[in-house]
Amino acid sequence: MTYHINIKKSKVEEFLLIIESLKKLGVVQSFKTADSLAIPGTEEPVTTKELIKVLDKAEKESMAGKILPSEQVKKMIESWK
């Protein structure tokens, strides 16, 4: 059986955690989001755990001062053209 559910953007993380729990329990067989990210080179969606790992790493790098100002990033991108 398939359901289409609209989730508030502010509650997406909580919803995905619930769905992952239901999947582990065997209640949910699979799920797919319309706006899901895919792993580069595949159509396989990025899992919530993988996305949280990326965000955690980015936060740690930011706290360590390993960030680039947006103007510097813009200049780098323009130089690639």
Q: Is residue 49 one of the residues assigned to a domain?
A: yes
pTM of the model: 0.40
Q: Is residue 1 one of the residues assigned to a domain?
A: no
Q: How far apart are CA 49 and CA 10, in angstroms?
A: 18
% of the chain at pLDDT higher than 90: 6
Q: How many domains does the chain divide into?
A: 1
Which residue do the tokens 């755990």 mark? 49
In tens, the pLDDT along 28-70 reads 888 877 665 666 666 677 778 888 888 888 888 888 888 878 8
User: Once rounded to an integer, what is the mean pLDDT over residues 12-22?
Assistant: 90
Smallest Cα–Cα separation from 44: which of 28, 32, 56?
A: 32
In tens, the pLDDT along 58-68 reads 888 888 888 87
User: Range of 18's domain?
Assistant: 9-80
Q: Is residue 71 one of the residues assigned to a domain?
A: yes
Q: How far apart are CA 59 and CA 57, in angstroms?
A: 5
Q: How far apart are CA 9 and CA 34, in angstroms?
A: 13
